Amino acid sequence: MNNFIDYKLIELGQWTVGLFNDYPVVQILVHLLLATLPLTLVFMGAFGFSTWLERKGLARIQNRLGPNRVGIFGLLQPLADGIKMLLKEDIVPDRSDKLFHFLAPVMLMVPAFIAVGFLPLGDGLMALPMDSAILFFFAVGSLNTIAVFMAGWSSRNKYSLLGGMRAVAQMISYEIPLVLSAVAVIMFSGSLNAQEIVASQQIQSWLASGNLVKEFFGQILGWHIFKPWGFAGFIFFFVAALAEANRSPFDLPEADSEIIAGHLTEYSGFKYAIFFMAEYISAFAIAGIATTLFLGGWSGPVIAGLPWFIIKMFSLFAVMIWIRGTLPRLRVDQLMGYAWKFLLPLAILNIFVAGFYYFAEQQFGSLAAFIGGWVIGFGILQTAAKGLSRLNKSPTLDGKRVYQLVE
């Protein structure tokens, strides 16, 4: 089998746990640590790396060099930043709600790390193996709305409050298309279990055939993104995920040109760093779940398992950076309109398309369903998108704008 890395890691874990067979209490603790500690460390490292990646990527997009002084290629820049953040004074506004001001970053970080625990990093590599992992992921993921609003409210600052209010409006609105576009996948694979969803994206008969070419493509062609509803669903999911993770162009809660830094305005020092870490880790988590749902999770040719998952997750994150370097921020009304008047109806329609596709596959075989699905199903989705955008068009954009001169 080619996902040997995962098996080796699991074996290593089992061997370590086996060392403590005589001390059951210690064994439980070790088991807990083995599940959580590597994940925490790895994702913290990934956070550092991704800040570097983001700064470098944005710099290159803007024809700059980016950080290149600390370490080779500036790779140690995150470390320097971390030390700097640690050494900074932690300023708490005098009349803020001190308890909630303190709790907000914690509240944001805990669900972010829990959400990471539900990612199927590899074959059997999952910190919190659970049958309803996807459901739980979304449930935990929506907690960060509360944390952001806590930060905004407790700071006693108008910009913070505005940021918090925007965050609540945005996250609640985008949660719905996010979950609805995931529903199509859940329907199709008939399970909430992340591992089974990944397994449903591998063509099992090809994998078992023993033919190398078939094995190679069996790991790729089954991904949901190659199906019409999966492709559309992936786009809806990704857009909603950007909004959920507060990433540009949906970074309204911390729109620095309008409301300073939104809910982060009154935070400094390490709390600020924790906010950032939590946001990046949520972005990772959501990129990871998008990978699981639409991009075949850890399945992939030759080195299936952990490496493929990390490659896909980082690619999605790179696309997020790319989008950040390209698109301007939306206006609040555009943001809300886009979620409710455009994404939501399309996501619901997508569920129907997925349902029809499912039955078509059973009725006419997968090839016919594939071709017909792309022609008919995608056509329906595209027509619907066109119609919706025509319905949503604001009257001023029709034809020329008329300006009235002041007499």
Partner 1 sequence: MSLIAKGILQGMAVTAKNFIQSYYKKERLPTVEYPEEKSTVNQFTRNIPFLVYDGEDEIEGMRCTACKLCEKACPPQCIYIIKDTDENDKPIKRPKVFDIDSSVCMSCQLCVEVCPFESIRMDSEFELSNENRFEGLLINRDELLKSNEYYHEIHPIEAQETDDRIAAKIAEAETKKKAREEKARLAAEAKQAAAAMKAAEEAAAETETSATEQAQQSEAKAEAPEDNPETKNT
How far CA 322 is from CA of 195, 285, 327, 404, in Å, comes to 29, 18, 9, 40
Taking CB under 8 A as the rule, which mask of x and - marks residues 293-332 in contact with partner 1? -----------------------------xx-xxx-----
The smaller minimum CB distance to partner 1, of residues 249 and 269, is found at 249
The smaller minimum CB distance to partner 1, of residues 6 and 54, is found at 54
CA nearest 196: which of 112, 113, 298, 116? 298
Looking at this protein, which amino acid is placed at residue 384? A
Instruction: Give the three-state DSSP class for 370.
Output: helix
Which of 57, 120, 218, 262 forms a contact with partner 1 (CB under 8 A)? 57
> What φ, ψ does residue 32 adopt, rounded to 5°?
-60, -45
The smaller minimum CB distance to partner 1, of residues 65 and 375, is found at 65
Task: Report if residue 396 touches partner 1, rule: CB under 8 A.
Answer: no
Instruction: Give the three-state DSSP class for 122.
Output: strand
DSSP-assigned letters across all residues of 35-85: HHHHHHHHHHHHHHHHHHHHHHHHHHHTT-----SSSGGGTTHHHHHHHHH
Closest CB 344 distance from partner 1, rounded Å: 15
Q: Which stretch binds partner 1 (CB under 8 A): 54-62, 103-111, 195-203, 252-260?
A: 54-62
Which tokens go with 290? 């998008």
Q: Which stretch binds partner 1 (CB under 8 A): 5-13, 55-63, 181-189, 191-199?
A: 55-63
CA nearest 296: which of 184, 183, 203, 177? 203
Which of 14, 211, 315, 389 forms a contact with partner 1 (CB under 8 A)? 389
Closest CB 390 distance from partner 1, rounded Å: 9
Helices and strands, number each (H, E), in the chain: 18, 0
Q: How many residues bind partner 1 (CB under 8 A)?
A: 17
Binders of partner 1 in range 65-104 (CB under 8 A): 65, 68
Q: Which stretch binds partner 1 (CB under 8 A): 17-25, 47-55, 61-69, 88-96?
A: 61-69
Which of 64, 84, 158, 331 forms a contact with partner 1 (CB under 8 A)? 64
Which of 35, 103, 146, 388 forms a contact with partner 1 (CB under 8 A)? 388
Which of 21, 62, 363, 404 forms a contact with partner 1 (CB under 8 A)? 62
What's the half-sphere exposure (Cβ side, CA atoms, 13 Å) at 141?
34
Task: Report if residue 359 touches partner 1, rule: CB under 8 A.
Answer: no
H-only helix segments in 190-227: 194-200, 204-207, 212-218
- Write out the residues near partner 1 by the rule CB under 8 A: 57, 60-65, 68, 322-323, 325-327, 385-386, 388-389
